[in-house]
């Protein structure tokens, strides 16, 4: 049993608290409008730098002292920059939340950004870019993303070498002061917590925190199509992206149906792609499909990792299966539907066992839907889906303006 409370703090930031019975832990996610979508074209990498640096000291504590203070409370913390937000997250025992909030608010309002921490943080970010050389699949994914999405959703999230090297302590501090504001910020807390007490504590700690920031602008649509990246390896990476409904308040139902379709295509060893591409034809070592929805966009993606000799047939069969499910002959069967429902309901159950997962989900829900969603409502929505509804949706579904990206020694013939 869980109860969700939404409270608007004095600083105007929404606080969403889920009291979860039967747990002793607590988790918090604080999302502030400092994601990589805020980075200018000549400072790409600022957001991941900020995420790295706010873990390296706050208030009167240097990096070591700050880490020790969290460790004494048994708090596990992290910071990560997405497109919209830079998120601070932490998990702890519920009775340590008040003390942990003091330290977390120090990270937010009083980060040190010590000069001695700038270059080590920069080296961490540069190393993440350098590591892409050893990850051909990720390079293919990022190349497809760059051509599929409008700016800033096309960004890698890692920044660029030039952007990272251009950053100074002064520019970092200036950016943080401009972005770390309560407007557009969201806080989610879940677990063994008292909503009124959390709100009172945060109102006290955030007294005087003010500021607004306008949303970033979204660029023009990309041309998409097929592109090959030459890579002298004995593997071929194949990525296909195509548009799908957003996962927001106006298209939540369609997004749920897309998740059913993704489960049918890529639901483990029983999924159609595994069966058709790998099991029947032995064309690849890895194949998958997924749906990702956000407030501004929705995307279906498919991936095949294979060898140069089997790459052309792999992409042909993959494309054939992505199209086939939209045809009368490819409609979802009762057995496939039942497996997808079990998988989706299992995911909801597992999500309910993680306070950290729930805190993050509350923030995501407020961002995408304007309100939190309970696990019971998610389970009820899944239960309400019927096979006829999914197949009727498939009858109207088409793949338009796809992006196809290959990476390997030889260019392929695109199946479009």
Same domain, 154 and 234: no
Indicate yes or no: pTM above 0.75. Answer: yes
For the chain, give the percent of residues with pLDDT over 90.
Answer: 98
pLDDT (0 to 100) of residue 5? 98
Q: How confident is the model at residue 2 (pLDDT cuts 50, 70, 90)?
A: confident
Q: What is the mean pLDDT of the chain?
A: 97
Per-residue pLDDT reduced to its tens digit, 203-224: 999 999 999 999 999 999 999 9
CATH code of 111's domain: 3.30.830.10
Does the pLDDT of residue 1 top 80, yes or no?
Answer: no
Same domain, 176 and 303: no
Q: How confident is the model at residue 268 (pLDDT cuts 50, 70, 90)?
A: confident
Q: Does residue 416 belong to any structural domain of this protein?
A: no
Q: How confident is the model at residue 141 (pLDDT cuts 50, 70, 90)?
A: very high
Per-residue pLDDT reduced to its tens digit, 168-190: 999 999 999 999 999 999 999 99
Tell me the CA distances in angstroms from 185 to 11, 14, 151, 189, 196, one per residue in order.
Answer: 10, 7, 21, 14, 19
Same domain, 375 and 267: yes
pLDDT (0 to 100) of residue 176? 98
Residue in 130, 142, 216, 107 with CA at minimum distance from that of residue 405: 142
Same domain, 169 and 244: no
Q: Does residue 313 belong to any structural domain of this protein?
A: yes
- Show the domain range for 249: 225-408
Q: Kindly state the average pLDDT of the residues 400-414.
A: 97
- Among the candidates 142, 170, 205, a domain finishes at 205
Q: Is 414 exposed, middle or buried (0-12, 13-18, 19+ CB in 10 A)?
A: middle
CA 299 to chain centre: 13
Same domain, 170 and 242: no
Which residues, 6 or more positions from 386, have their beta carbon under 8 angstroms from its beta carbon? none
Q: Does residue 47 belong to any structural domain of this protein?
A: yes
Same domain, 55 and 107: yes
Q: Does residue 105 belong to any structural domain of this protein?
A: yes
Same domain, 233 and 90: no
pLDDT (0 to 100) of residue 8? 98
Residues shown for the chain:
416
Per-residue pLDDT reduced to its tens digit, 342-391: 999 999 999 888 999 999 999 999 999 999 999 999 999 999 999 999 99
What is the rounded CA–CA span in Å between residue 332 and residue 326? 9
Q: Could you check whether the bond before residue 152 is cis, i.e. omega within 30 degrees of 0? A: yes
Same domain, 239 and 330: yes
* Overall number of domains in the chain: 2
Same domain, 260 and 343: yes
């Amino acid at each position: 049993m869980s109860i969700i409370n939404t409270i608007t703090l004095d600083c105007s930031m929404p606080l969403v608290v889920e009291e979860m019975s039967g747990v002793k832990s607590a988790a918090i996610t604080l999302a502030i409008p400092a994601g990589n979508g805020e980075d200018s074209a000549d400072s790409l990498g600022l957001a991941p730098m900020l995420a790295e640096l706010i873990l390296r000291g706050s208030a009167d504590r240097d990096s070591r002292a700050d880490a020790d203070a969290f460790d004494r409370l048994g708090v596990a913390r992290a910071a990560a920059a997405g497109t919209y937000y830079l998120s601070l997250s932490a998990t702890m025992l519920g009775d340590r939340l008040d003390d942990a909030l003091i330290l977390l608010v120090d990270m937010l309002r009083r980060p040190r950004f010590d000069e001695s921490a700038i270059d080590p943080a920069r080296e961490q970010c540069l190393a993440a870019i350098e590591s892409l050389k050893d990850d051909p699949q990720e390079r293919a994914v990022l190349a497809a993303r760059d051509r599929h999405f409008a700016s800033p959703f096309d960004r890698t999230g890692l920044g660029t070498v030039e952007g990272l090297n251009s950053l100074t302590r002064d520019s970092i501090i200036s950016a943080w002061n401009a972005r770390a504001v309560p407007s557009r910020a969201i806080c989610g807390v879940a677990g063994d917590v008292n909503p009124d007490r959390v709100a009172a504590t945060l109102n006290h700690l955030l007294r005087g925190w003010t500021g607004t920031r306008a949303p970033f602008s979204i660029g023009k649509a990309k041309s998409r199509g097929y592109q090959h990246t030459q890579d002298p390896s004995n593997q071929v990476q194949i990525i296909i992206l195509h548009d799908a409904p957003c996962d927001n308040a106006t298209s939540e139902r369609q997004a749920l149906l897309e998740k059913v379709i993704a489960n049918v295509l890529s639901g483990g060893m029983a999924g159609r792609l595994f069966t058709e591409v790998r099991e029947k034809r032995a064309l690849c070592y890895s194949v998958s499909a997924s749906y990702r929805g956000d407030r501004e966009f929705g995307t279906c993606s498919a991936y095949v990792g294979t060898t140069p000799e089997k790459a052309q047939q792999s992409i042909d069969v993959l494309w054939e299966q992505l199209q086939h499910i939209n045809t009368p002959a490819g409609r979802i069967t009762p057995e496939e539907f039942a497996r997808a429902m079990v998988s989706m309901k299992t995911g909801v159950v597992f999500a309910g066992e993680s306070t950290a997962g729930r805190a993050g989900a509350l923030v995501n829900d407020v961002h995408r839907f304007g309100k939190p969603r309970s696990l019971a409502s998610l389970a009820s929505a899944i239960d309400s889906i019927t096979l006829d509804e999914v197949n009727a949706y498939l009858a109207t579904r088409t793949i338009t303006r796809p992006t196809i990206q290959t990476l390997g020694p030889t260019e392929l013939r695109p199946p479009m």
